Chain A
Amino acid sequence: MYTLFFRTIITYILLVGAMRFMGKRQLGELELSELVITMLLSELASIPIADNTIPLTFSLIPIIILISLEIIISYLVIKSRKVKKFIGGSPSIIISKGKLCKKEMEKDRLSLDELMSQLRLKDISDISDVEYAILEENGQISVIPKTHAKTVTLSDLNIYKTEKGIIHTIIADGQISDFNLQIIGRNRKWLFNQLKKRKIRLCDVFLFSVDDAGNVNIVKNGETK
Protein backbone atom coordinates (compact mmCIF):
# COMPACT_ATOMS: atom_id res chain seq x y z
CA MET A 1 0.00 0.00 0.00
CA TYR A 2 2.89 2.37 0.68
CA THR A 3 3.69 2.20 -3.07
CA LEU A 4 0.27 3.66 -3.80
CA PHE A 5 0.81 6.37 -1.18
CA PHE A 6 4.16 7.51 -2.61
CA ARG A 7 3.03 7.17 -6.22
CA THR A 8 0.04 9.40 -5.56
CA ILE A 9 2.24 12.02 -3.86
CA ILE A 10 4.84 11.95 -6.66
CA THR A 11 2.16 12.18 -9.37
CA TYR A 12 0.40 15.03 -7.54
CA ILE A 13 3.64 17.00 -7.15
CA LEU A 14 4.54 16.40 -10.80
CA LEU A 15 1.11 17.46 -12.04
CA VAL A 16 0.96 20.63 -9.92
CA GLY A 17 4.54 21.43 -10.97
CA ALA A 18 3.61 20.78 -14.58
CA MET A 19 0.62 23.09 -14.47
CA ARG A 20 2.74 25.82 -12.87
CA PHE A 21 5.48 25.23 -15.43
CA MET A 22 2.98 25.54 -18.26
CA GLY A 23 2.16 29.04 -17.03
CA LYS A 24 -0.85 31.02 -15.91
CA ARG A 25 -2.57 30.79 -19.30
CA GLN A 26 -3.36 27.17 -18.57
CA LEU A 27 -5.46 28.06 -15.54
CA GLY A 28 -7.87 30.27 -17.43
CA GLU A 29 -9.55 29.67 -20.74
CA LEU A 30 -8.22 26.61 -22.53
CA GLU A 31 -7.19 26.68 -26.14
CA LEU A 32 -7.46 23.58 -28.32
CA SER A 33 -3.93 22.28 -27.70
CA GLU A 34 -4.19 23.09 -23.97
CA LEU A 35 -7.46 21.19 -23.70
CA VAL A 36 -5.88 18.15 -25.38
CA ILE A 37 -2.85 18.32 -23.09
CA THR A 38 -4.99 18.70 -19.95
CA MET A 39 -7.11 15.67 -20.88
CA LEU A 40 -4.04 13.58 -21.68
CA LEU A 41 -2.27 14.62 -18.46
CA SER A 42 -5.21 13.63 -16.28
CA GLU A 43 -5.48 10.29 -18.04
CA LEU A 44 -1.74 9.58 -17.86
CA ALA A 45 -1.46 10.58 -14.22
CA SER A 46 -4.20 8.19 -13.19
CA ILE A 47 -2.63 5.11 -14.85
CA PRO A 48 0.13 4.26 -12.32
CA ILE A 49 -2.11 5.24 -9.40
CA ALA A 50 -4.91 2.94 -10.49
CA ASP A 51 -2.66 0.04 -11.49
CA ASN A 52 0.43 -0.39 -9.34
CA THR A 53 1.88 -3.12 -11.56
CA ILE A 54 2.74 -0.40 -14.09
CA PRO A 55 6.08 1.38 -13.57
CA LEU A 56 5.80 5.04 -12.61
CA THR A 57 8.08 5.93 -15.53
CA PHE A 58 5.30 4.84 -17.92
CA SER A 59 3.39 7.91 -16.83
CA LEU A 60 6.19 10.29 -15.78
CA ILE A 61 8.00 10.23 -19.11
CA PRO A 62 4.90 10.91 -21.27
CA ILE A 63 3.88 13.70 -18.86
CA ILE A 64 7.33 15.30 -19.16
CA ILE A 65 7.22 14.95 -22.96
CA LEU A 66 3.72 16.47 -23.17
CA ILE A 67 4.60 19.42 -20.96
CA SER A 68 7.78 20.06 -22.91
CA LEU A 69 5.87 19.94 -26.20
CA GLU A 70 3.20 22.26 -24.85
CA ILE A 71 5.78 24.84 -23.77
CA ILE A 72 7.64 24.60 -27.08
CA ILE A 73 4.38 24.95 -29.03
CA SER A 74 3.25 27.91 -26.88
CA TYR A 75 6.57 29.57 -27.63
CA LEU A 76 6.23 28.92 -31.36
CA VAL A 77 2.63 30.19 -31.30
CA ILE A 78 3.86 33.50 -29.87
CA LYS A 79 6.69 33.72 -32.39
CA SER A 80 4.88 32.65 -35.56
CA ARG A 81 1.42 33.60 -36.79
CA LYS A 82 1.35 30.59 -39.10
CA VAL A 83 1.91 28.19 -36.20
CA LYS A 84 -0.72 30.06 -34.16
CA LYS A 85 -3.25 29.70 -36.98
CA PHE A 86 -2.39 26.03 -37.43
CA ILE A 87 -2.51 25.10 -33.74
CA GLY A 88 -5.24 27.32 -32.34
CA GLY A 89 -7.20 28.29 -35.44
CA SER A 90 -8.22 31.87 -36.11
CA PRO A 91 -11.21 33.95 -35.00
CA SER A 92 -14.29 33.91 -37.25
CA ILE A 93 -16.38 36.98 -37.89
CA ILE A 94 -19.97 35.85 -37.41
CA ILE A 95 -21.58 39.27 -37.72
CA SER A 96 -19.78 41.86 -39.80
CA LYS A 97 -21.02 45.45 -40.06
CA GLY A 98 -24.38 44.32 -38.73
CA LYS A 99 -24.76 41.50 -41.27
CA LEU A 100 -24.85 37.81 -40.37
CA CYS A 101 -22.22 35.70 -42.13
CA LYS A 102 -24.05 32.43 -42.70
CA LYS A 103 -21.05 30.79 -44.33
CA GLU A 104 -18.84 31.40 -41.29
CA MET A 105 -21.57 30.05 -39.00
CA GLU A 106 -21.82 26.87 -41.09
CA LYS A 107 -18.06 26.54 -41.15
CA ASP A 108 -17.90 26.77 -37.35
CA ARG A 109 -21.07 24.66 -36.90
CA LEU A 110 -22.63 27.45 -34.89
CA SER A 111 -26.42 27.47 -34.87
CA LEU A 112 -28.51 30.61 -34.72
CA ASP A 113 -29.91 29.51 -31.36
CA GLU A 114 -26.40 29.23 -29.92
CA LEU A 115 -25.50 32.65 -31.29
CA MET A 116 -28.65 34.19 -29.83
CA SER A 117 -27.96 32.52 -26.49
CA GLN A 118 -24.41 33.93 -26.45
CA LEU A 119 -25.72 37.40 -27.34
CA ARG A 120 -28.29 37.23 -24.54
CA LEU A 121 -25.48 36.36 -22.13
CA LYS A 122 -23.85 39.62 -23.24
CA ASP A 123 -27.13 41.50 -22.47
CA ILE A 124 -28.04 41.89 -26.12
CA SER A 125 -31.54 40.73 -27.01
CA ASP A 126 -31.78 42.08 -30.54
CA ILE A 127 -29.35 40.85 -33.19
CA SER A 128 -29.78 44.14 -35.08
CA ASP A 129 -27.97 45.90 -32.22
CA VAL A 130 -24.76 44.03 -33.04
CA GLU A 131 -22.13 45.64 -35.26
CA TYR A 132 -19.58 42.82 -34.96
CA ALA A 133 -19.70 39.36 -33.39
CA ILE A 134 -16.47 37.39 -33.43
CA LEU A 135 -16.12 33.73 -32.54
CA GLU A 136 -12.77 33.59 -30.76
CA GLU A 137 -10.30 30.65 -30.80
CA ASN A 138 -11.42 29.58 -27.31
CA GLY A 139 -15.08 29.30 -28.38
CA GLN A 140 -16.25 32.52 -26.75
CA ILE A 141 -18.11 35.15 -28.76
CA SER A 142 -16.92 38.75 -28.52
CA VAL A 143 -19.61 41.29 -29.29
CA ILE A 144 -19.20 44.89 -30.40
CA PRO A 145 -22.61 46.57 -30.28
CA LYS A 146 -23.76 49.33 -32.62
CA THR A 147 -23.23 52.85 -31.30
CA HIS A 148 -26.90 53.33 -30.33
CA ALA A 149 -26.85 50.10 -28.29
CA LYS A 150 -23.64 50.84 -26.39
CA THR A 151 -23.71 51.50 -22.66
CA VAL A 152 -23.33 55.15 -21.73
CA THR A 153 -19.96 55.84 -20.13
CA LEU A 154 -18.86 58.67 -17.84
CA SER A 155 -16.90 60.25 -20.69
CA ASP A 156 -20.09 60.29 -22.83
CA LEU A 157 -21.66 62.36 -20.05
CA ASN A 158 -18.56 64.54 -19.73
CA ILE A 159 -18.06 63.46 -16.12
CA TYR A 160 -14.44 63.14 -15.11
CA LYS A 161 -13.40 61.33 -11.94
CA THR A 162 -9.95 60.63 -10.61
CA GLU A 163 -8.71 57.10 -11.19
CA LYS A 164 -8.97 54.90 -8.14
CA GLY A 165 -6.74 52.29 -9.67
CA ILE A 166 -6.58 48.97 -7.88
CA ILE A 167 -7.19 48.32 -4.22
CA HIS A 168 -4.14 47.18 -2.26
CA THR A 169 -4.85 45.02 0.77
CA ILE A 170 -2.46 46.10 3.50
CA ILE A 171 -3.98 44.21 6.44
CA ALA A 172 -6.07 41.09 5.97
CA ASP A 173 -7.27 39.19 9.03
CA GLY A 174 -4.77 41.07 11.22
CA GLN A 175 -1.81 40.13 8.99
CA ILE A 176 0.23 43.00 7.53
CA SER A 177 1.38 42.66 3.93
CA ASP A 178 4.80 44.35 3.71
CA PHE A 179 4.85 43.53 -0.01
CA ASN A 180 1.71 45.60 -0.67
CA LEU A 181 3.01 48.38 1.58
CA GLN A 182 6.12 48.48 -0.56
CA ILE A 183 4.00 48.62 -3.74
CA ILE A 184 2.16 51.74 -2.53
CA GLY A 185 5.46 53.25 -1.40
CA ARG A 186 4.65 53.26 2.33
CA ASN A 187 6.03 51.49 5.39
CA ARG A 188 4.82 50.09 8.68
CA LYS A 189 5.41 53.45 10.40
CA TRP A 190 2.88 55.09 8.06
CA LEU A 191 0.47 52.23 8.64
CA PHE A 192 0.68 52.49 12.44
CA ASN A 193 0.24 56.27 12.19
CA GLN A 194 -2.92 55.74 10.14
CA LEU A 195 -4.26 53.33 12.75
CA LYS A 196 -3.29 55.67 15.59
CA LYS A 197 -5.02 58.59 13.88
CA ARG A 198 -8.21 56.56 13.74
CA LYS A 199 -7.69 55.17 17.28
CA ILE A 200 -7.82 51.57 16.06
CA ARG A 201 -5.61 48.74 17.36
CA LEU A 202 -3.97 46.38 14.85
CA CYS A 203 -5.72 43.34 16.38
CA ASP A 204 -9.11 45.01 15.75
CA VAL A 205 -8.51 45.41 12.01
CA PHE A 206 -10.10 42.80 9.73
CA LEU A 207 -9.30 44.59 6.48
CA PHE A 208 -7.19 47.65 5.72
CA SER A 209 -7.00 48.62 2.08
CA VAL A 210 -5.68 51.58 0.12
CA ASP A 211 -6.46 52.51 -3.47
CA ASP A 212 -4.06 54.18 -5.92
CA ALA A 213 -5.56 57.59 -5.06
CA GLY A 214 -4.55 57.03 -1.42
CA ASN A 215 -8.07 56.50 -0.04
CA VAL A 216 -8.03 54.23 3.00
CA ASN A 217 -10.80 51.77 3.75
CA ILE A 218 -10.89 49.95 7.08
CA VAL A 219 -13.19 47.11 8.12
CA LYS A 220 -13.01 46.33 11.84
CA ASN A 221 -13.45 42.87 13.30
CA GLY A 222 -16.69 43.94 14.98
CA GLU A 223 -18.15 44.99 11.63
CA THR A 224 -17.96 41.46 10.22
CA LYS A 225 -20.62 38.82 10.77
Chain B
Amino acid sequence: MKTIIIPIILLIAAMVFIIWSGIAVDNSLKGLIEQTKDLPDTPNENTLKLIEDIEKHWNKHKELYSAVIKFDFIYNFSKEISAAKAGVNAEDTGTYLAAKKSLLNILEYIRDVQKLRIDNLI
Protein backbone atom coordinates (compact mmCIF):
# COMPACT_ATOMS: atom_id res chain seq x y z
CA MET B 1 0.00 0.00 0.00
CA LYS B 2 2.88 2.32 0.93
CA THR B 3 4.26 1.91 -2.60
CA ILE B 4 1.34 3.61 -4.27
CA ILE B 5 0.79 6.42 -1.78
CA ILE B 6 3.65 8.54 -3.19
CA PRO B 7 2.55 8.20 -6.85
CA ILE B 8 -1.04 8.98 -5.92
CA ILE B 9 0.13 12.10 -4.04
CA LEU B 10 2.27 13.07 -7.07
CA LEU B 11 -0.68 12.57 -9.42
CA ILE B 12 -2.92 14.71 -7.24
CA ALA B 13 -0.18 17.36 -6.92
CA ALA B 14 0.24 17.47 -10.72
CA MET B 15 -3.50 17.82 -11.19
CA VAL B 16 -3.76 20.54 -8.53
CA PHE B 17 -0.87 22.42 -10.18
CA ILE B 18 -2.52 22.25 -13.60
CA ILE B 19 -5.88 23.49 -12.28
CA TRP B 20 -4.38 26.09 -9.92
CA SER B 21 -2.00 27.54 -12.53
CA GLY B 22 -4.77 27.65 -15.13
CA ILE B 23 -7.16 29.48 -12.80
CA ALA B 24 -4.42 31.82 -11.50
CA VAL B 25 -3.30 32.75 -15.02
CA ASP B 26 -6.91 33.24 -16.10
CA ASN B 27 -7.67 35.56 -13.16
CA SER B 28 -4.45 37.50 -13.61
CA LEU B 29 -5.01 37.95 -17.33
CA LYS B 30 -8.60 39.09 -16.80
CA GLY B 31 -7.33 42.20 -14.99
CA LEU B 32 -4.54 42.73 -17.49
CA ILE B 33 -6.96 42.58 -20.44
CA GLU B 34 -9.23 45.14 -18.76
CA GLN B 35 -6.23 47.43 -18.14
CA THR B 36 -5.11 47.09 -21.77
CA LYS B 37 -8.64 47.75 -23.06
CA ASP B 38 -8.73 50.91 -20.91
CA LEU B 39 -5.78 52.37 -22.78
CA PRO B 40 -7.05 55.37 -24.75
CA ASP B 41 -7.08 55.25 -28.55
CA THR B 42 -5.28 58.57 -28.67
CA PRO B 43 -2.26 58.72 -26.36
CA ASN B 44 -2.29 61.45 -23.72
CA GLU B 45 -0.13 62.42 -20.72
CA ASN B 46 -1.50 59.50 -18.63
CA THR B 47 -0.98 56.78 -21.28
CA LEU B 48 2.67 56.13 -20.48
CA LYS B 49 1.80 55.60 -16.81
CA LEU B 50 -1.00 53.20 -17.79
CA ILE B 51 1.37 51.21 -19.99
CA GLU B 52 3.90 51.05 -17.16
CA ASP B 53 1.14 49.77 -14.83
CA ILE B 54 0.37 47.01 -17.34
CA GLU B 55 4.09 46.18 -17.53
CA LYS B 56 4.31 46.08 -13.71
CA HIS B 57 1.28 43.77 -13.50
CA TRP B 58 2.79 41.52 -16.18
CA ASN B 59 6.22 41.39 -14.50
CA LYS B 60 4.61 40.61 -11.13
CA HIS B 61 3.10 37.41 -12.55
CA LYS B 62 5.83 36.64 -15.08
CA GLU B 63 7.05 33.52 -13.21
CA LEU B 64 3.54 32.12 -13.23
CA TYR B 65 3.14 32.80 -16.95
CA SER B 66 6.58 31.28 -17.65
CA ALA B 67 5.43 28.03 -16.08
CA VAL B 68 2.41 27.61 -18.32
CA ILE B 69 2.91 29.47 -21.60
CA LYS B 70 5.51 29.33 -24.33
CA PHE B 71 8.28 31.87 -23.88
CA ASP B 72 7.59 33.27 -27.36
CA PHE B 73 4.49 35.00 -25.95
CA ILE B 74 6.46 36.45 -23.04
CA TYR B 75 9.11 37.87 -25.40
CA ASN B 76 6.42 39.18 -27.77
CA PHE B 77 4.52 40.85 -24.94
CA SER B 78 7.66 42.64 -23.71
CA LYS B 79 8.40 43.64 -27.32
CA GLU B 80 4.90 45.10 -27.78
CA ILE B 81 5.06 46.98 -24.46
CA SER B 82 8.30 48.60 -25.63
CA ALA B 83 6.66 49.41 -28.99
CA ALA B 84 3.64 50.99 -27.25
CA LYS B 85 5.93 53.10 -25.05
CA ALA B 86 8.01 54.15 -28.06
CA GLY B 87 4.79 55.07 -29.91
CA VAL B 88 3.65 57.27 -27.01
CA ASN B 89 7.06 58.92 -26.63
CA ALA B 90 7.35 59.60 -30.35
CA GLU B 91 3.68 60.69 -30.50
CA ASP B 92 3.24 58.06 -33.21
CA THR B 93 -0.42 57.03 -32.79
CA GLY B 94 -0.18 54.34 -35.50
CA THR B 95 2.65 52.44 -33.76
CA TYR B 96 0.94 52.87 -30.39
CA LEU B 97 -2.41 51.55 -31.63
CA ALA B 98 -0.80 48.61 -33.43
CA ALA B 99 1.11 47.72 -30.24
CA LYS B 100 -2.07 48.03 -28.14
CA LYS B 101 -3.92 45.69 -30.52
CA SER B 102 -1.06 43.18 -30.43
CA LEU B 103 -0.97 43.31 -26.62
CA LEU B 104 -4.69 42.57 -26.48
CA ASN B 105 -4.36 39.76 -29.01
CA ILE B 106 -1.53 38.12 -27.07
CA LEU B 107 -3.36 38.37 -23.74
CA GLU B 108 -6.65 37.10 -25.14
CA TYR B 109 -4.92 34.23 -26.90
CA ILE B 110 -3.11 33.15 -23.72
CA ARG B 111 -6.33 33.41 -21.73
CA ASP B 112 -8.28 31.39 -24.29
CA VAL B 113 -5.64 28.66 -24.24
CA GLN B 114 -5.70 28.54 -20.42
CA LYS B 115 -9.50 28.48 -20.32
CA LEU B 116 -9.54 25.71 -22.88
CA ARG B 117 -7.04 23.75 -20.79
CA ILE B 118 -9.19 23.99 -17.66
CA ASP B 119 -12.43 23.33 -19.56
CA ASN B 120 -10.93 20.20 -21.11
CA LEU B 121 -9.63 18.98 -17.78
CA ILE B 122 -12.80 19.29 -15.75
Which of A32-40, A66-74, A180-188 lies on the face that meets chain B? A66-74
- Which chain A residues numbered 50 to 71 have a C-beta less than 8 Å away from chain B? 52-55, 57, 61, 64-65, 67-69, 71
On whether the beta carbons of A55 and B71 are closer than 8 Å, the reply is yes
Is A6's CB within 8 Å of the partner chain B? no
Q: Do A68 and B67 touch (CB < 8 A)?
A: no
B121 interfacial by beta-carbon distance below 8 Å:
no
Q: Are A55 and B67 within 8 A (Cβ)? A: yes
- Interface class of chain B by DSSP: helix
Q: Are B71 and A75 in contact (CB under 8 A)?
A: no
Residues of the B chain whose Cβ atoms lie less than 8 Å from the Cβ of A65: 10-11, 14
Given A71-B3, A71-B4, A75-B3, is A57 in contact with B67 using a C-beta cutoff of 8 Å? Answer: yes
Chain B residues within 8 Å of A75, by CB: 3-4
Partner of B8, one of A52, A54, A55, A68: A68
How many of chain B's residues have a CB under 8 angstroms from any CB in A? 18
Does B20 sit at the interface, judged by CB under 8 A?
no
Cβ contact of B18, chosen from A53, A55, A61, cutoff 8 A: A61
Check B68 for interface membership: any CB of A closer than 8 A. yes
Q: How far is the CA of A68 from the CA of B68 in the complex (A)?
A: 21
Contact between chains at B17 and A61 (CB < 8 Å): yes
Contacts of B119 in A (CB 8 A): none
Cβ contact within 8 Å between A53 and B70: yes
Within the complex, what minimum Cβ distance (angstroms) separates A61 from chain B? 5
- Write the B63-107 contact mask toward A (1 if CB under 8 angstroms, else 0): 000111111100000000000000000000000000000000000
| CB-contacts of A4-62 with B (<8 A) | 52-55, 57, 61
| A65 CA to B18 CA, complexed, in Å | 12
In whole angstroms, what is the CA distance A61 to B22 when docked?
A: 14
Contact of B10 among A52, A54, A57, A67 (CB under 8 A): A67
The answer to whether B18 and A68 have CB atoms under 8 Å apart is no
Indicate if the CB atoms of B70 and A72 lie closer than 8 Å: no
Q: Would A69 and B71 count as touching, CB distance under 8 A?
A: no
Known: A61-B14, A65-B14. A55 touches B66 (CB 8 A): yes
Residue among B4, B66, B68 making CB contact with A72, cutoff 8 Å: B4
Q: Which 3 A-B pairs have the closest CB atoms?
A: A68-B7, A71-B7, A53-B71
Contact sample, A vs B, 23 pairs, CB 8 Å cutoff = A52-B71, A53-B71, A53-B72, A54-B71, A55-B66, A55-B68, A55-B70, A55-B71, A57-B17, A61-B17, A61-B18, A64-B11, A64-B13, A65-B10, A65-B14, A67-B7, A68-B7, A68-B14, A69-B7, A69-B11, A71-B3, A71-B7, A75-B3
Chain B residues packing against A (C-beta within 8 Å): 3-4, 6-8, 10-11, 13-14, 17-18, 66-72
